[in-house]
Homo-oligomer: A and B are copies of this chain.
Amino acid sequence: MKLATLKTGGRDGTLVVVSRDLVTCQAVPKIAHTLQAALDDWDHAEPQLRKIYERLNAGTADKAESFIEEECHSPLPRAYQWCDGSAYINHVELVRKARNAEVPASFYSDPLMYQGGSDRFVGPCDPIAVLSEDWGVDLEAEVAVVTGDVPMGASVEEAAGAIRLVMLVNDVSLRNLIPNELAKGFGFYQSKPASAFSPVAVTPDELGEAWVDSKLHLPILVTLNDQPFGRPNAGEDMTFSFARLVAHAAMTRELGAGSIIGSGTVSNKQGGLHGSSIENGGVGYCCLAEVRMYETIEGGKPQTPFLSFGDTVRIEMVDAGGASIFGAIDQEVTRYHRK
């Protein structure tokens, strides 16, 4: 099943069920006005939403409308929780290698995770609005899941069963603010502005054979200024599955329905250099920081700049037949202006 949120209807938008081919959609006010409301009462809402989904796919829905990605907000325009793991250790290895540091052994058994801001996400086609290019604006292409309620101390198996939806994320990062912020010891805050999620969130069953043991085995496609930039496989080199990340998040507290847990930047190892660009025959990257680390390792300093005003980022994933699964995150970096 595929779900999305149109921007109309207030801060939380309007929930719509979307056809598998992303061509039609239908609002479902009698079932749930918003995605959060559906998640709050999932056992009751889900079977009803699936009936609409089946009718949309069969072309028999009585209130189908055209589905337009640009009219979407993030599936949860705001959420009660957004936690981002760092499950692709290659990303961490590369960062450490660039400064000749070892990756602690515990990083392979104890997930890295930070608590992100969730009070205002931006829509998938909304700008990445910043006050200054000097902040070092970077993309981070990731996969994320949305959970139901999870009890404290949930097992990995229980956590797997609590995964309700899967989507893509651009976890925008302000690289030049990170060193000072992490040095303070309390983690990211100002260096992680509002994220954008894919127009469509899908139930795990929708992913078929690509969803194995709570990992999504498909390439995530990143385009930068209309040029292919990355296509690593999100199922490869993922040290911690989503179930493992959810269980980590729930170790000392219950998770409320609608919690979003991210994978961290997708990153494939590709041998000794921890990565290779698409033009050099590799699968490329999901963030500029990795290219810059590679350049630092090779040449002593980074060459590729961070994002500038006017730069565009597109993040998508297609199925075996080439059809877009989640719709596309498609953003341009702009200067922030107050509304």
Contacts and interface: CB of A to CB of B under 8 A. Distances in A.
A88 to B, nearest CB: 15
Contacts of A186: 86, 112-114, 182, 187-188
B113 A189 contact: yes
Interface string A29-61: 000000000001000000000000000000000
Interface residues of A, number: 56
A281 interface: no
A262 to B, nearest CB: 12
A119 B194 contact: no
A146 B89 CA distance: 37
B80 A119 contact: yes
Contacts of A338: 151-152
A309 B180 CA distance: 39
Contacts of A79: 80
A214 interface: no
A330 to B, nearest CB: 20
A252 B113 contact: no
A248 B184 contact: no
18 contacts: A11-B40, A78-B256, A80-B118, A83-B189, A104-B184, A106-B180, A106-B184, A110-B184, A112-B185, A113-B186, A115-B117, A115-B187, A115-B189, A117-B253, A119-B259, A130-B252, A153-B336, A190-B251
Given A115-B116, A119-B258, A187-B188, 19 more contacts: A11-B40, A11-B256, A78-B80, A80-B118, A80-B120, A81-B119, A106-B180, A113-B186, A113-B189, A114-B186, A115-B115, A115-B117, A115-B187, A115-B189, A117-B253, A152-B338, A174-B252, A177-B252, A190-B252
